[in-house]
Chain A
Amino acid sequence: MRKSRHIIISMASLLVAAVLLYYGMNYQGVMMSIVGAALLLQSLSIMATPVSGNSELGEGEFYKRIVTSYASNMEKLLTSATGSQAFYVPFEDKVMVIVASGGLNNKFKIDILLDAVGHELAKELEEKLNMSEEASFEDFLSKLGELLKEKGFIEEFEYVANEELLFFKVKNPATIKLHKHLSRIAPKTYSYLGCPLTSAIAILTVKFLGESFMANFNVEGDAAEVKLKPARLGFVQVVRNERRSLA
């Protein structure tokens, strides 16, 4: 249905473009020629897109649009928080994301407070992992990697852990398309919140270690990356801002 609508629109555009080009070129209509050429290229591109078969029409596209809409709005909010960073902070039985700016002398000002995404998945994974209190961080990571592979969520799980940085590389996650899409339409939102899968990994890590981390999500080719840096937050001022506070 949608495909045929696109074809009808592009055919009509093609016709208008031809008329514009004809009159433009024959009667010294410079602007008509330029606009006609632009319309011609647009209609050809529109025609070519559904034919290429890459379009995901139907239910998947509908959800993608909803995600896009949320991400775009979130992006506007986060963009307004100038020079900010995202911190994953354990809070009671949850992990909160604090978007804070400043950073001078390790003192931050909270701009936005959010629930981390992927709590449901994190809860499910936590139950499956069933880690004992004595378990080492190394054990936790290797178990987590195995569990994710077993569930078919990822292809490979690599990590680097030291006192200054925790770095996770998730190869071919099931949500890779979402990663790429989010990082394209809402780069700042993606770098702060990741996707439900990578965010769940960050939540589990924060919960396990019980510390606050500065988080950054990134996508490189077919791999998603999570960087967590230990952070000592010295909040000097908690800002109440109705427009920004979502939590």
Chain B
Amino acid sequence: MKDEVSLRRTTFILAVLGFLCIRLVAAIIYPLFPAWDPWSYHWTLNMILSNRVNPLSNKSAYYTSGITYVLVSIVESSGISSFDAVKWLSPVIYTLILAPILFALGRQFGGSYKAGLIALLLFGVSDIGVLRQSYTIAEGLALPLSIVAMYAAIKYYREGGKYNLFTAALILLTLPFIHHLTSFIMYFTLAVILTSLVKFKSYERNLTLTLILIAASIVVFASQAHAYMEHQTYIRLLIFLKGLNKSRAPVSVYEAMTEKYSGVPRSYYELLLHHLSTGFTLLLAFITFLNLVIKRIKRPEEVFHYVWLIVTVVFFFASSLGDYFFGWLFDFYGYRAWIFAAVPASIFAARLLSKLSKVTPVVVLFVMVTSTIGTCVFILHQFDTMNIYQYEIDTSDWIVENLGNNTLIVSPASFKTSYSLVKLPYLVTVESKDVRFFRCNATYIGITLSSGGYSNVYVMSSERATEKPFRTAYLVVCYDIFYEGDFIRIYDSKVAWVWKSNRKWTIEEEATMQARG
């Protein structure tokens, strides 16, 4: 018996280590901050850490969350830089919270130690799970906490206990301040679950948990979370309804699923390889789901899991379909809802896999190995692609060092077609007293260039500007003009370039260029 216990303990520790290691791949291969969307997350994080902005007093800090900020401040006192602390601490914190809870949920639902371990490993190698937990992002922290709240709610419903109730209440009331979408999905799921649980006639527990949701909804309504979770929802819904009568060609499923990636898959085959883990998990979860429907749900904890899976998977598919039909009008992109479906799906899939493992352990091994390979390729592709961002920073450094006063540098985003001077595109993060970074748009670039006042005009560009997500329907860089004698390339780092203009343009020439673009 002792041997068995120690074997189980060792296996569990190894599984947690594996869970963590795959989440550290991004931090290992990417020299800067790993972040899926470097233009927003990196910038925000950079601002918070550089300027020591307290996340509790600044809404931009929303992306890092207070807990990480406090931990980073503590680690910083040991001499480690806040940037390194954020980079390495985030995946460790997510793993330490999530791994034991996932194991416990899998074990409870699957009815065995093996099911718990498989649930932990399945989510451990889940593509979206690894991606979203490899760096500092609100979902990364909000998700594990929401799972703890779910576990505490299940335990309270089954066994009672003030500590379970207190844990669930504390987390559910805190959640809107960490991440709005996670809290929205968790509240919605719990509301549906509690309504379904009435048949078990534990009215007091039902209503007590609902009371927590009522308190949470009042907290949301009365706090800043209202702006994110409720006010914006109305605005988006309004935009969506207004736009319904306009004809809009649906994007491809491929685009709907990959548009937000840093590194876009090059083919359907690659897309499939990257997301083997999601494919396997959803398939196995669906079989367990059907099995449960046929056998009929008998226990309250099964209702919890069952409704949790339905709500999150429906949300995931609805969001993906929304992207497919309507583009990004809503903030609920398919990729954002993906991770919420991955957790219950892993728990469901683990139940079936643990049973299948009795017939042949090869099935489990096959699913795990292929999922791990797919996810590793996916993560390497994502974060390797992001290394280009480092070249851009190198380019910026080169500009600051080599270009003198009275210099105008135009970022690639300047070529965005716009009819308003006010609505300018992306910020350029390089800063210098001597170099002015100018953001303008294609319509007005000629006016700016011909107005004088600049000895040199440079355009900073990069390969990224030619790729997704920067090269999209609404942002196209007119590269043709660089090759027509108006610009010469003075810096080339293969993936980032600096172009120098040979002469100043007239407004008429600009108009011609605009017409061509």
Contacts and interface: CB of A to CB of B under 8 A. Distances in A.
A28 B217 contact: no
A225 B201 CA distance: 28
Interface in A9-60: 9, 13, 16, 20, 23-24, 27-32, 34-35, 37-39, 41-42, 45-46, 49
A24 B158 CA distance: 31
Nearest to A13: B207
A38 B218 CA distance: 15
Contacts of A83: 112, 358
A30 B298 contact: no
A42 B1 contact: no
B113 A239 contact: no
Nearest to A237: B1
B114 interface: yes
Interface string A85-98: 00000000000000
A16 B214 contact: yes
Nearest to A72: B158
Nearest to B355: A83
A239 B299 CA distance: 30
B217 A241 contact: no
B234 A38 contact: no
B181 interface: no
Contacts, number: 92
Given A28-B234, A31-B221, A9 B207 contact: yes
Given A187-B298, A239-B1, A32 B191 contact: no
B479 interface: no
Nearest to A32: B217
Chain B binding surface SS class: helix
A104 B226 CA distance: 59
Interface string B69-103: 00000000000000000000000000000000000
B194 A38 contact: yes
Contacts of A39: 210, 214
A241 B184 CA distance: 44
Interface string B207-235: 10010011011101100001001110110
A23 B230 CA distance: 13
Contacts of A23: 221
B206 interface: yes
Contacts of A13: 207, 210
A183 interface: yes
Interface range on chain A (Cβ under 8 Å from partner): 35 or more
- Which of A13, A31, A32 has the most B CB atoms < 10 Å from its CB? A31
Nearest to A187: B298
B112 to A, nearest CB: 4
A79 B191 contact: no
B214 A42 contact: no
A32 B229 CA distance: 11
Contacts of A240: 1
Given A45-B198, A184-B298, A32 B221 contact: yes
Given A39-B210, A42-B207, A31 B114 contact: no
A185 interface: yes
B450 interface: no
Contacts of A107: none
Given A29-B230, A187-B298, A49 B210 contact: no
A115 B400 CA distance: 84
A16 B230 CA distance: 20
Given A37-B191, A83-B358, A31 B217 contact: yes
A38 B298 contact: no
Contacts of B231: 28
Nearest to B298: A184
A30 B229 contact: yes
A31 B187 contact: yes
Contacts of B1: 239-241
Contacts of A132: none
A6 B203 contact: yes
Given A79-B111, A185-B298, A42 B218 contact: no
25 contacts: A16-B214, A20-B214, A29-B221, A29-B230, A30-B184, A30-B230, A30-B233, A31-B184, A31-B187, A31-B216, A31-B217, A31-B221, A31-B230, A34-B187, A35-B210, A35-B214, A38-B194, A38-B210, A39-B210, A42-B207, A42-B210, A45-B198, A79-B112, A83-B358, A183-B298
Interface of B: 1, 111-114, 158, 184, 187-188, 191-192, 194-195, 198-199, 201, 203, 206-207, 210, 213-214, 216-218, 220-221, 226, 229-231, 233-234, 298-299, 358
Given A31-B229, A38-B213, A83-B112, 12 more contacts: A9-B203, A29-B230, A31-B184, A31-B187, A34-B187, A41-B195, A41-B198, A42-B195, A79-B111, A82-B114, A184-B299, A187-B299
Interface of A: 6, 9, 13, 16, 20, 23-24, 27-32, 34-35, 37-39, 41-42, 45-46, 49, 72, 79, 82-83, 183-185, 187-188, 239-241
Q: What 9 A-B pairs come out closest when comparing CB atoms?
A: A38-B191, A31-B217, A82-B112, A45-B198, A30-B230, A32-B217, A35-B217, A184-B298, A35-B213
